[in-house]
A and B are shown apart, each in its own frame.
Chain A
Amino acid sequence: MRFSLSRTMSDLKVYGRSSLRSREGFFFTLVFPVILILLFGAIFSGGGVSQSTVYVQNNDIGPVGAAFVSALNSTSNYCSNSSSAGLCLRLAPTDVNFSQYLSSKSASDGIVIPANFSLAFESGQDVNVTVFGNPSSTTSAVVSGIVAEVVNGFNVRGATGVHHVGIASRTAVSSNYKYIDFLVPGLIGFAALTSPMFAMVNMSSTYRRDKVFKLLSLTPLTKTEWLLSKIIWYVCTTVVSFVLMTAVGVYVFGAHIALNWGIGMFLLLGPFFFVSLGMLVGTVSNTPEAASVVGNLVTFPMMFLSGTFFPVSSMPKYLQAVAHVLPLYYMIDGLNEVMIYGNFEAAYTDMALLLAISVVVFALAVKFFRWRED
């Protein structure tokens, strides 16, 4: 193996400096992450005006319906506190047609608790809470997510037969999750995906067109060293995005984030994977046009379906199934586990999966990527 760290570092120095000199490189490394988090943070967790209101119609007169409402309530902010981000829960009268009521309030998000809720719940029968939402709205996804959490909590309690105990602890945990908490890891994943993918796909085709690869092949720099220097660079940019986004998330939107070494693992693995994948995509495509098409085909589903902008658990089941084959999902899922829940055990699986697939893709990229032509 002819590997030289000093050659890798020389290449890194030249590439890093070039990236910062190029407007796009500078923008995507430093400016874009901040814009992203400010934009999405403001849209979805925003102040009074953009605060989304959720109406609840409780048709149940028993204790479980009321407990459910209070559990829901504890996940949302009080509506009067208009400066804080999040959902505002309002009770709807029980004697109206709920969907008409929603339209009369220009609202799309609502929850209906059926009349037999307490009865059915206490006798162990299946009972459904109906969630109204606009499928194209992200707040609806968040609402479904929250309802799912609460329902889940109730079901656990229902199964064990302990009805009232646990509500307090349940609400204590769930009240900590705000949309912004999911947004920060999601957008870090987004940044770890987009800048290396687009840069590598583009580079692999323009370097080939301009014969820069041929030029480099005339020096002792090896393909592995060259690729490694790109990985190191994008690890650096991802760490910078992480710092910027976390700072904005915490100081501007009040996100709750646990800092720990697990985050570092994902900040390493993410760019490792996406640099290799971008290179592989650029390498197997014959023309720059094909590379960009294939690159977009690979990138766009991941950009939106991996839990970047809202939690995967709030997506419909079939989309969740799609998410589970997208590598970015495992990065964001792992980041969620360590940054929000502090659940390292769950993150190990994500780490292992990501590491395995990164090694494979890296090896394929090195194998198929040619400096020179036949």
Chain B
Amino acid sequence: MDGTAGTRVVLLACGSFNPITNMHLRMFELARDHLEDSGYQVVKGIISPVGDGYKKKGLIEAKHRLEMARLASENSWITVDSWEGLQAEWVETAKVVRHHYNELLAHEENNDDVDTVKYAKKRRIEDNYYVSSSSPQNRDGTRLMLLCGADVLESFGVPNLWKQEDIEEIVGRFGIVCITRTGNEPLKFIHQSDTLWKHRKNIHIVQEWVTNEISATHVRRALRRSRSVRYLLPDNVLNYIHEHHLYSEESEQKNTGVILAPFQRYSGASSS
């Protein structure tokens, strides 16, 4: 892959993290191993839990989800960012990616020996719109890639969940690292989408040979039934959950009947 030798990468994972589990944390590790194998240098990992405005069923308060993610990533290279999570209204993923990319540039501006200021400023102006013909990112600078599971990639196909131009921007301008158990499904999905296929070089598929289906849904279910979830998530997160009595029948009913924020926004439904 040209232009990748030593290219620095920051991985950004968006999601509910309701709660964070060892599977989420493994995603970062698998992605880093894969990218470094391909010659990249992964310098940072960011967990960005979604805000409460997303209105997903069973989504508990962002402040808890943020704190649990922070506890989980304490002694690691992974960090947690609250910019998205603390906003009242749901923020599109593309916006979150753009935000973090700008932060990245600002940071490089401050720390870099090389004068990238002029170049960085030039890139930032372009944040307000996306020019499809431009090269993905500052080739010599750090790249930001969205880290996700194959389910997120395939969610691109769900009507009214994503704006087409956002998908184009995320894969075209930034890039995706997609962790999958079956190599075929995501590849097929990419093949069947013109947008994804056009930017296939920016979509890194990481095969997870060792199936690990620890899902937050499963963890919440087990907690509701007073079953042990020890060793599925870090001990300090588990302690936090018990201390604050999170995840009950009641918490799972939150947002029942409420339309998910993207659907509400994109299908032109009037706010309820």
Judge: A and B partners, yes or no: no
